[in-house]
Chains A and B, each alone.
Chain A
Amino acid sequence: MELTHRFTVPGSVEETWARFQDIGSLAECFPGAQVTSVEADTFDGTVKVKLGPIALVYAGSGSFVAKDEAAHTFLVEAKGRDKRGNGTAGANVTVDMEAEGDGTSVEVKTDLAITGKPAQFGRGVMQDVSDKLLGQFVTCLEQKIAAEHDGGAAPEEAPAQEQPAAAAPRHAAPQQPVSSGPSDSAAEDDAIDLGEAVLPVLIKHYGKYAVGGLVVVLLLWLLGRRLGR
């Protein structure tokens, strides 16, 4: 799934850019994240996700994979694996900044793929796990930048919106190795590239893919037979 959030922070583009260069503090914005080590452009850490009865701990790493200071754009890739073998999580975070009046407009595009067992619930909770993770990540980023700014003014928030990526790329610079959207086949390829071990099943979109759908139906059927509720 991909979400685009846009917000405005006080301060020039250069100032804002400088604040984003600490990859450790970026990573800490994932809810429940603990960064265990930071080295130049990479970090290791864990992320704890809780949703109702579910509690998963992902351990993994992330790094800057593209950085264009002139265009004020960078891309961070992170991937992790659940400690108890419950699948993987991968995130592509593209941040794009441009001057807007006295402040800076920041666009954060996050492509998150969580794979794993379809659990024994009334609906596909992995999608809800993703929603929750993303929402908290962007809110944290926004607060962090606003708090670090000496002026301390609250950021003006543009309404965060979910939109298909195909409609979004306002600044589609050619050097950005970013997904063109989850609704076409290119996104599937990206998801596979993201983590070599990631199953090519984007939970959110399994309805659109016959193969993914069949796998899920089969699993649900087996689970339903074995476990009841």
Chain B
Amino acid sequence: MIPAQFDYVAPASVEEALAALTAHEDAKILAGGQSLLPVLRMRLNAPELVIDLGRIDSLRGISEDGDALVIGAMTRHCDVASSALVEQHAPLLHVAVQHLADPQVRHRGTFGGALAHADPAGDMGAPALALGAEFVIQGPSGTRTVPADDFFVDLFETAIGEDELLVAVRIPKHTGWGAHYEKFVRVAHQWPICAVAATAKVDGGVVQQVRVGLTNMGNTPLRARAVEDALTGQQATADAVRAAAEHAAEGANPPSDLNGDADYRRHLVTVLTRRALLAAVGG
């Protein structure tokens, strides 16, 4: 279908984009367009103005900044996937992004766009949450940084204000951590029915630190803190992982839909957490 008519601007700087955003009440931000364009084409939205960030070069790229990686919001998924920096310092992100949709989508879709869209079944939210990402958000009055725990507010809703843009995501380095993203789908390129992002630091056979993020188990990505608490300090054995994974659904509020009801997902998440953790701790 053809979208309803809209005006289009492609500013060359973040400041110009923010000015356009402030000047128009009914504007939408276009990043990679992999979610926005279908919405426009199905006429589920008809904004007056589309602001394309594609020409703002400063929003692209992956760099190191002390103890963190900085990923520009307009960095494409394929560039995250092929980044040696990400592979070395954020292995969880490296493995998870390979599971995001298909190669075509990964070559158009952007890291920041996916996170700002905040689809609860999106594949980037749980890894970002598990890695303790910080979201750099710029608005008319300057730049602020929001921790991952505060970024995801509700279904398709984030801490980004109406007149603000996500410009970068800072990922604390997790060098040497094991990582795995276990995704359960019916169709390979689709959104997960449920997925688990797990990353762990194992030393001398003992799990020193572990982080677990859940995809599509509520209105936002979730941290499985009960699992993390149960496994921290334990021997990295299959039994310890199995016992910890039993807590995976605690505090989750999964949806019921065609692919499975909430109870099904509650069970599924314990199985996927076990698999993800076994791979992450190298068990």
The verdict on A197 contacting chain B, using a C-beta distance below 8 Å, is no
> Which chain B residues (111-156) contact chain A, with CB distance < 8 Å?
117-122, 155-156
- Name the CB-closest residue of B to A122: B121
Q: How many residues of B contact A (CB 8 A)?
A: 40
Q: Are the C-beta atoms of A53 and B257 separated by less than 8 Å?
A: no
Partner of B119, one of A86, A121, A216, A228: A121
A121 to B44, CA, bound (A): 12
A207 to B258, CA, bound (A): 5
Closest approach, in angstroms, between the C-beta of B90 and any C-beta of chain A?
Answer: 22
Q: Are the C-beta atoms of A120 and B39 separated by less than 8 Å?
A: yes
Q: Are the C-beta atoms of B101 and A52 separated by less than 8 Å?
A: no
A56 to B46, CA, bound (A): 9
Q: Are the C-beta atoms of A86 and B105 separated by less than 8 Å?
A: no
Q: Are the C-beta atoms of B119 and A55 separated by less than 8 Å?
A: no
Please name all residues of chain B whose beta carbon is closer than 8 Å to the beta carbon of A124 when the two chains form the complex.
255, 257-258
The verdict on B213 contacting chain A, using a C-beta distance below 8 Å, is no
Taking chain B's interface residues, is the majority helix, strand, or loop, or is none over half, making it mixed? loop
Q: Which of B15-23, B184-192, B235-243 contacts A (4 or more CB under 8 A)?
A: B184-192
The verdict on A227 contacting chain B, using a C-beta distance below 8 Å, is yes
Q: Are the C-beta atoms of B105 and A51 separated by less than 8 Å?
A: no
A57 to B19, CA, bound (A): 27
Indicate whether A53 sits within 8 Å of B39 (C-beta atoms), given known contacts A123-B216, A128-B155, A207-B261.
Answer: yes
> Which chain A residues (81-129) contact chain B, with CB distance < 8 Å?
84-86, 117, 119-125, 127-128
A136 to B35, CA, bound (A): 27
The verdict on B28 contacting chain A, using a C-beta distance below 8 Å, is yes
> Which chain B residues (25-51) contact chain A, with CB distance < 8 Å?
28, 34-36, 38-39, 41-47
Q: Are the C-beta atoms of A52 and B44 separated by less than 8 Å?
A: no
Partner of B117, one of A52, A119, A223, A228: A52
The verdict on A7 contacting chain B, using a C-beta distance below 8 Å, is no
A123 to B156, CA, bound (A): 11
Closest approach, in angstroms, between the C-beta of A135 and any C-beta of chain B?
Answer: 12
A205 to B157, CA, bound (A): 25
- Name the CB-closest residue of A to B215: A122
Q: Are the C-beta atoms of B155 and A119 separated by less than 8 Å?
A: no
The verdict on A155 contacting chain B, using a C-beta distance below 8 Å, is no
Please name all residues of chain B whose beta carbon is closer than 8 Å to the beta carbon of A55 when the two chains form the complex.
44-47
Partner of A228, one of B189, B192, B261: B189
The verdict on A213 contacting chain B, using a C-beta distance below 8 Å, is yes
A136 to B137, CA, bound (A): 29
1/0 per residue B32-76: CB within 8 Å of A?
001110110111111100000000000000000000000000000
Q: Are the C-beta atoms of B43 and A207 separated by less than 8 Å?
A: no
The verdict on B13 contacting chain A, using a C-beta distance below 8 Å, is no
Q: Which A-B residue pairs are the 10 nearest by beta carbons? A: A52-B156, A122-B121, A122-B191, A120-B38, A84-B43, A122-B119, A55-B45, A53-B39, A227-B38, A54-B44
Chain A residues packing against B (C-beta within 8 Å): 51-56, 84-86, 117, 119-125, 127-128, 206-207, 213, 216-217, 220, 223-224, 227-229
4 new A-B contacts at CB < 8 Å, known A53-B39, A120-B39, A124-B257? A120-B35, A122-B192, A227-B41, A228-B105
24 A-B contacts, Cβ less than 8 Å apart?
A: A52-B117, A52-B118, A52-B156, A53-B39, A53-B44, A55-B45, A55-B46, A86-B44, A119-B44, A120-B42, A121-B119, A121-B121, A122-B119, A122-B120, A122-B191, A122-B192, A123-B255, A207-B257, A213-B258, A224-B187, A224-B190, A228-B34, A229-B38, A229-B101
